[in-house]
Amino acid sequence: MRGAAGVSIVDPDEIVLSRIVFQVPLETGHTLVRRQFPLAPAYATTFNSCQGLTLDTVGVDLTRCVFSHGQLYTALSRIRHRKDARVRLPFGRELTKNVTYNEILI
């Protein structure tokens, strides 16, 4: 979304969405004007409830660390290609920890 028309980052915790104006000339000589926010329909799910699903795209918000063994793997393994994943990390960070507990592995 960063860099998209009508979207600007004020600071790491605030995103400003401006309405985009669309103009379509009609055959009658009039112009249809439409103003809308640059949003696309989406839905959310939890790490656990997406187990077993195959998704077209995945967006994972990691501004808070995952809190259970294997959650990051579960979320990122729901897609066919890694290019279809978007990960949000805390501002200024490029890495996150994948929490694993070796003592619970068999």
Which domain range does residue 95 map to?
42-106
Looking at the structure, tell me whether residues 36 and 55 fall in a common domain.
no
- DSSP 8-state code for residue 28: T
For 83, the token pair is 């290019």
pLDDT for 39-91, tens place per residue? 877 778 887 788 888 888 888 888 887 777 778 888 888 888 989 888 888 88
Cα–Cα distance, 97 to 64 (Å, whole number): 11
Other CB atoms closer than 10 Å to residue 78's CB: what's the count? Answer: 21
- Structure pTM? 0.52
Cα–Cα distance, 32 to 41 (Å, whole number): 23
Looking at the structure, tell me whether residues 49 and 34 fall in a common domain.
no
Other CB atoms closer than 10 Å to residue 75's CB: what's the count? Answer: 24
Cα–Cα distance, 106 to 96 (Å, whole number): 25
Looking at the structure, tell me whether residues 65 and 90 fall in a common domain.
yes
